[in-house]
Structure 1
């Protein structure tokens, strides 16, 4: 495998407050900013979101909240990076730890993303402290997350509540330094000079939390990954048409809503695809730019950032910002819908693009 080395990783962290209608905007931001790593808390994902959580060109690590709604953490890492998830199977805490491989197996570091609910008890806090102590044994650590401990004063390293004071003790025991002045956002590291270019600002959709952008200054092992793709040259389209034609579409889709109908349609198409269209592996270095991400959407995202900056300075209202967010979301929705309509209308003349898009929406 060919290996390249990069000395700086561009990272983004956000508390989403549900990724429900924010996935497309996140993908556009990631492409626009060329992010290498994206950390998210409060994904609100469950097994029903497997089909739309993936992002082309990135490995997805996730830990969903079990047994109740909300919460959840996730980490997207460029798939060309050599990294492994560390075992943290305890469901009492919402934490994810990934070890990033450094140059020649030196300079490894651990990237963690954690979410602490407001009502988390002290027993769960101790489970987190135990996990943190274990991963802190490795030479370098970067931890991001939302811990919902607003009474912590990072400037003076003081806190009012017992749980917040215990958290500060845990940070001190593991030699971690907070790099963001916000009360609940965390960007912590135990290695001076490992993190730089920290910027807090902008929001994902209408989330009530700001995004944190930063760089990790570390050489990371990168290689060319092998990606499975559809081999249309060897496809049996007669078999595919036969399999799709056997599905009782009218009866199966009767009474189903748009989302439920789309999921059923996609599952049946993918079943037929698996039997009729073989796959082959090809080398890939970077993720594809989404086909629906056009210049107009890029301009709208920049306008959203501009209005957000004006709002923070008191030169625009919150309603102004909400209006720009809704317009941005609507432009993305229409761009995707138009792309899908064009692909459907042209499916007879361009089957390859149609099935390529369907496969990419898994």
Structure 2
């Protein structure tokens, strides 16, 4: 198992458009060298694996877009995983087929981490989306931490939008936080925070890098330092039976007034009286 001083995950959205900007995308990903880069809006369907942009030193895994043919453009999620990072695919619960999510697990410095990515098109119900993610997280219990990266299509910076309350409730329920606080999506007239990185692990650094040549969505990068918590040792004092002075032990037992002890009706009183007689414990 590889050891890491720092482990970096990232998110890039609207990746389907990079087919016409593959060189810029490769440069950006190789420049930042994220260990795992989550991708939203791959625009890939079943059998389209060969259409995914190839990046040296990275493998690609994805879940195709939904089968709703009227809304396939802009859907699909996946991961670019740096070679040397051992990642295992994990199942997820989807009561609503329109909710796109993918989960993998890695072990870093003996710490088990669940990593997921999810994309919510604007037409997907917010409660259905967050409910599916909650179901998946509560079903995966054999991990120390989780990291969820995705485009929620909810501007967290807009306090007047009632939909921003839903992610906050999700954070409370999962005892986690969103570690991105600055805009991640840019147009000529606006800057919004719609890409989130939600985790219950300690974050060491966050970066939002907007490259206009790659479109309006920024590269979002988050650094972690995972260190397996030390378990406090448990001290036990034992008296080896083989070291007992049997003659002295039997002599002590004969000296005890057993009639007094068995005269109690409560077992706790019997034990207390025996301890006082035998060990001098009050």
TM-score range, shorter chain: 0.5 to 0.7
The 1-side partners of 2:222 and 2:75 are apart by 23
Q: Which residue of 2 aligns with 1:142?
A: 147
The 2-side partners of 1:13 and 1:81 are apart by 17
Instruction: Give TM-score, length-normalised by structure 2.
Output: 0.65
**Structure 1, gaps ≥5 residues long:** 221-362
Residues 178-197 of structure 1: pairs in structure 2 closer than 5 A:
178-181=178-181, 182=183, 183-191=193-201, 193=202, 195-197=203-205
Contact 1:25–1:204 at 8 Å: present in 2 too? no
Q: Secondary structure at the match of 1:6?
A: coil
Contact 2:90–2:103 at 8 Å: present in 1 too? yes
Q: Which residue of 1 aligns with 2:101?
A: 95
Q: Which residue of 1 aligns with 2:118?
A: 114
Cα-to-partner distance string for 1:55-74 (whole Å, 9 max, x where unaligned): 34323221121222221111
Shift of the 51–179 alpha-carbon distance from structure 1 to 2, 3 Å rule, reads same
Contact 2:66–2:100 at 8 Å: present in 1 too? no
Q: CA deviation at 1:78?
A: 1.7
Q: CA RMSD in A?
A: 2.6
2:216 maps to 1:208: yes
Q: Secondary structure at the match of 2:49?
A: helix
Q: Which residue of 1 aligns with 2:3?
A: 5
The 1-side partners of 2:118 and 2:99 are apart by 8
Q: Which residue of 2 aligns with 1:132?
A: 137
Residues 1-362 of structure 1: pairs in structure 2 closer than 5 A:
3-16=1-14, 18=16, 19-47=18-46, 49-53=48-52, 54-67=54-67, 68-88=72-92, 90=94, 91-103=97-109, 106-121=110-125, 122-135=127-140, 138-150=143-155, 152-153=156-157, 160-161=161-162, 163-181=163-181, 182=183, 183-191=193-201, 193=202, 195-203=203-211, 205-218=213-226
The 2-side partners of 1:133 and 1:98 are apart by 15
Q: Which residue of 1 aligns with 2:261?
A: none
Q: CA deviation at 1:219?
A: 6.4
Q: Secondary structure at the match of 2:3?
A: strand
Contact 2:93–2:135 at 8 Å: present in 1 too? no
Q: CA deviation at 1:119?
A: 1.3
Q: CA deviation at 1:166?
A: 2.9
The 1-side partners of 2:141 and 2:148 are apart by 10
Cα-to-partner distance string for 1:212-252 (whole Å, 9 max, x where unaligned): 122122369xxxxxxxxxxxxxxxxxxxxxxxxxxxxxxxx
Cα-to-partner distance string for 1:11-49 (whole Å, 9 max, x where unaligned): 332112523323332222222333322111111122453
Q: CA deviation at 1:89?
A: 6.2
Runs of at least 4 residues off by over 6 Å:
none
Instruction: Give TM-score, length-normalised by structure 1.
Output: 0.52
Contact 1:204–1:211 at 8 Å: present in 2 too? no
The 2-side partners of 1:129 and 1:138 are apart by 15
Contact 2:93–2:136 at 8 Å: present in 1 too? no
Shift of the 76–219 alpha-carbon distance from structure 1 to 2, 3 Å rule, reads farther
Structure ID, larger Rg: 2
Cα-to-partner distance string for 1:126-159 (whole Å, 9 max, x where unaligned): 2233223334763211111110112x349xxx67
**Structure 2, gaps ≥5 residues long:** 184-192, 229-282
Contact 1:61–1:85 at 8 Å: present in 2 too? no
Shift of the 14–136 alpha-carbon distance from structure 1 to 2, 3 Å rule, reads farther
Which range moves more in the overlay, 26-35 or 112-121?
A: 26-35
